[in-house]
Structure 1
């Protein structure tokens, strides 16, 4: 191999090495840009959720009177308050419903206590697959075993605190009975009502009726005088403002 050929070959190797290093650096920079972008998006999402959470209200006093209706819905309102009406369509197994309760549940309780709204809870089952369907049915059936409004609300809160994942069997009879007793249930027949799942049929009938009539896309669905609040419901300050404006 001639000197000129060796030099040309060396130059070619150097050029190839430089090109490889250039591409490697380009990939490194691209990876860094993508990583930074992902971190930024996550930070924004976490920041928004943190703001929403930090803005969540605390229950400031006694709850408004709570009454259980014949169809299984539950009304929370001061006597004489009939409007505006906030309807809460929820499934005890629904993770987003738990998030709504943690974020905005106290706002609804406060608004009802202040006499600013009539809040109506509608527990339904939207799941069709297992184990979520049976989990939801057991919890909803157990809630219908309660006869006093204050007990129902305490049980409602405990249900969300103990919500199982969507891939696990949960809301066992033992758990539901325990939470019911902690909520104040002492009526004769409560335990057998829960363990026998005596209200499943009534609950399923009510769920079907609601889903058919309202064509709900999912839960939670929060409606103010019949109009969906969508994302507003997850921002306590915006939820309060919407209800107060409707009360004017």
Structure 2
């Protein structure tokens, strides 16, 4: 190695180390934001329950809009004939902020769809496909299992996966649990268990990840309405998401 190469190599190593430090710092900041969001939402939910005397208030009663699986792996929830506005939800079952959104506005989204006010497209994918274990494995196993669920029971399974979400730094979403939770929501039989055991998402999971890349998804939840990303007020508050859908028109 020449004298010129030595300092250059050292500089490159230093630059690489700084880049890695910045990535770690960004991740710590992001996790901190998620923790704050979850805490704020938890306080709001507790307050709402106290005010309403235990009534969930925004939980839909009665019919739910039909759900159908698309060739790209997404799940569409819409009343017949409803084509817009289109609400797309990119989510990862291991993402704490996605769980926070589901807790805060998941029922609102379903009610709007059941009322024929919006067409919802759920786009689960693996945000953590390049993350270290156990986060990557948790994310991938849950995603694969969701592709094994039939469309008419998919939303119930989707909800159960978020209910059972564990911490990123502990092994979770293990196959035996994924099968047991499916049975709890009415998905039984050996076909589902076999699909989960062989990582049945396969090509569908790859298509889902590709769709997220095409949409330039950088974090989750990533929610768009007619192609425009919604801000946190809309994503994490029932009033915000209702207002966004109302203003979008048809």
Counterparts of 1:95 and 1:200 in 2: how far apart (Å)?
A: 24
Structure 1 residues 159-174: aligned runs within 5 Å: 159-174=161-176
Which position in structure 1 is the counterpart of 2:215? 214
Q: Select the residue among 145, 148, 163 that pairs with 1:145.
A: 148
CA contact (8 A) 2:77 2:119 kept: yes
Counterparts of 1:220 and 1:46 in 2: how far apart (Å)?
A: 17
Counterparts of 1:78 and 1:173 in 2: how far apart (Å)?
A: 33
Query: Which segments of 5 or more consecutive residues in structure 2 lack a partner in the other structure?
Result: 1-35, 50-56
Which position in structure 2 is the counterpart of 1:123? 124
Deviations 1:31-72 (A, max 9, x none): xxxxxxxxxxxx9x9667634673972123221111111221
Alpha-carbon distance, 1:85 to partner:
0.5
Counterparts of 2:165 and 2:201 in 1: how far apart (Å)?
A: 20
Alpha-carbon distance, 1:201 to partner:
4.2
Which position in structure 1 is the counterpart of 2:77? 76
Aligned-residue CA RMSD (Å): 2.1
Counterparts of 2:229 and 2:106 in 1: how far apart (Å)?
A: 16
Alpha-carbon distance, 1:219 to partner:
0.4
Counterparts of 1:103 and 1:140 in 2: how far apart (Å)?
A: 22
Secondary structure at the counterpart of residue 148 of structure 2: coil
Counterparts of 2:44 and 2:124 in 1: how far apart (Å)?
A: 28
Alpha-carbon distance, 1:147 to partner:
2.0
Which position in structure 2 is the counterpart of 1:66? 67
Which position in structure 2 is the counterpart of 1:17? none
Structure 1 length normalisation: TM-score? 0.76
Query: Which segments of 5 or more consecutive residues in structure 1 lack a partner in the other structure?
Result: 1-42
Counterparts of 1:115 and 1:69 in 2: how far apart (Å)?
A: 19
The alpha-carbon distance between structure 1 residues 167 and 227, as it changes in their structure 2 partners (threshold 3 A), is same
CA contact (8 A) 2:138 2:171 kept: yes
Secondary structure at the counterpart of residue 189 of structure 1: helix
Counterparts of 1:49 and 1:202 in 2: how far apart (Å)?
A: 34
Counterparts of 1:103 and 1:168 in 2: how far apart (Å)?
A: 25
- Highest CA radius of gyration, 1 or 2? 1
Q: Is residue 2:231 matched to residue 1:230?
A: yes
Secondary structure at the counterpart of residue 166 of structure 2: coil
Secondary structure at the counterpart of residue 86 of structure 1: strand
Deviations 1:8-48 (A, max 9, x none): xxxxxxxxxxxxxxxxxxxxxxxxxxxxxxxxxxx9x9667
The alpha-carbon distance between structure 1 residues 48 and 124, as it changes in their structure 2 partners (threshold 3 A), is closer
Which position in structure 1 is the counterpart of 2:114? 113
Which position in structure 2 is the counterpart of 1:37? none
> How many residues were matched structurally?
203
The alpha-carbon distance between structure 1 residues 181 and 46, as it changes in their structure 2 partners (threshold 3 A), is closer
